[in-house]
Amino acid sequence: MIRHAVEGVDAVLALLVELAVYAAAGYWGFTRDGGLPKRLLLAVGTPALLILAWGLFGAPTATHPVHGPARALLELCWFGSGAAALWASRGRRPALLFAATYLLSTAVRFV
């Protein structure tokens, strides 16, 4: 029973971390230098590219799902892009907190 509760909490945490990647990418895009059209394009386009990549390779219903080492590399790059976007737009502390949350969520999946 406790295991099911932990799995449920982890599923919610994993979803929130995934959504945070999109939010961080959009925020990063909007905080770049340049005019409003450029910032809006980056704020919408960057998360759109991440959504496309996750839908093709990472989602449970992905068109071309990857497994094993390729999956680990995909997650590292994908979630790493969220941490990098936070680092570039908000600084080190939010990026490290995001990375720690992702690592905690990943660790819980393997326990």
State the pLDDT at residue 7. Answer: 80
Could you report the per-residue pLDDT of 10-61, keeping only the tens digit for each? 888 888 999 999 999 999 999 999 999 999 999 999 999 999 999 999 988 9
| Residue position matching structure tokens 């496309």 | 52
Number of residues in the chain = 111
State the pLDDT at residue 39. Answer: 97
Pairwise CA distance, residues 54 & 33, whole Å: 27
Average pLDDT over residues 53-80: 93
